[in-house]
Structure 1
Amino acid sequence: MLRAPENRTLIKRMMIKCADVSNPCRPLEQCIEWAARISEEYFSQTEEEKKLDLPVVMPAFDRNTCSIPKSQISFIDYFVTDMYDAWDDFVDLQELLQHLDNNFKYWKGLDERKLRGLRPPLEPK
C-alpha cells in the first residue's frame, strides 16, 4: 500500500505541508521567534499594499491593531491542529503535539490577558 506511487506522492505532499506550517510545533522560544518573523513579514506587506494604494490582502495584519496571540490561535485552529492530529496517526509526533499544545496555551494565555504582543510585559523588580 505504501509503495503505490499515488500514496508515496500523498505522503510527500503531507510532509511538505506539515513542514510548511510547523512553527507552532516547535519549542516555545522558537515558536515565538517565528511568529515574530511571519508577523513582521505580513505587517510589511500590509503597509506596502496601503502605500501603493492596492487592495489589502490581510487587513488583520495592521501593525497598530493586530493581536499576534489571536492570529496564532486562529492559525493553529484553522491549519495546524487537525493536520498534525491526522499525521500523528501515521507517524508518532508526541513531542511535536506537546509543543503544539503548550504553545496554544501560551498564546491563549496572552489573549485572555488582552495582550497583543509576543510576550507578557516584564514584571517590575
Structure 2
Amino acid sequence: MIKYEDVSNPCRPLEQCIEWAARISEECFSQTEAVSALQTEEEKKLDLTVAMPAFDRNTCSIPKSQISFIDYFVTDMYHAWEDFVDLQELLQHLDNNFKYWKGLDEMKLRGI
C-alpha cells in the first residue's frame, strides 16, 4: 500500500498531477544539479554524450518523463491492485493524465 501511494501522483485529478509533477521535477533538478553539474559540464567540455540527460534542466522533457513514469511504474501496478480494490476513479485519472502528457509531448512541449 505504501508503494502505491508513493507513485500515486498520476492517479490524482489533473490539477494535482500537474502541480506535483512540477514539484517533483524541480526537486530532481535541484538535487542532481549539484551532484552532476561537474560531471555533466566535464562531459560537454570533452564533447562526450551527457550520461544523465533526463536530469539536465535545459533538455529534459517533463511530459516524456511523466509518460515513462506512468508506463514503467504506475499502470501495471494499479491494474494489478484493481483485482482487490475498486480503482475505477483512480484509473480514469491515470488515463486522463496520460493523455494530457501525451498531448504535450506530441506538441513537442518540454514543460508543463
Give TM class, smaller chain: 0.7 to 0.9
Please point out which of 35, 54, 63 is paired with 1:69.
63
Structure-2 separation of matches of 1:70 and 1:82:
18
TM-score by length of 2: 0.80
Distance 1:59 1:86, change over 3 A: same
- For residue 83 of structure 2, give the secondary structure of its aligned residue in structure 1: helix
Structure 1 residue 61 displacement after superposition = 1.8
Consecutive aligned runs of 4 or more in structure 1 exceeding 3 Å deviation:
46-59
Q: Percent identity?
A: 92
Structure-2 separation of matches of 1:98 and 1:51:
46
Greater RCO (CA < 8 Å, at least 6 residues apart):
2
Distance 1:75 1:47, change over 3 A: farther
Structure-2 separation of matches of 1:47 and 1:68:
22
Structure-2 separation of matches of 1:50 and 1:34:
31
- Contact 1:47 1:62 (C-alpha < 8 Å) held by counterparts: no
Q: Which runs of 5+ in 1 are unaligned?
A: 1-14, 118-125
Q: Choose between structure 1 and 2: higher helix proportion.
A: 2
Distance 1:80 1:47, change over 3 A: farther
Distance 1:60 1:87, change over 3 A: same
- For residue 51 of structure 2, give the secondary structure of its aligned residue in structure 1: coil
Q: Which residue of structure 1 aligns with residue 26 of structure 2?
A: 40
Aligned length: 103
Asked if residue 79 in structure 1 is aligned to residue 73 in structure 2, the reply is yes
Q: Which runs of 5+ in 2 are unaligned?
A: 32-39
1:60-101 per-position Cα deviation (integer Å, ceiling 9, x unaligned): 121100000000000000000000000011100000000000
Structure 1 residue 59 displacement after superposition = 3.6
RMSD after superposition: 3.4
TM-score by length of 1: 0.72
1:88-124 per-position Cα deviation (integer Å, ceiling 9, x unaligned): 111000000000000000000000000001xxxxxxx
Which has the greater radius of gyration? 1
Distance 1:39 1:51, change over 3 A: farther
Distance 1:53 1:27, change over 3 A: farther
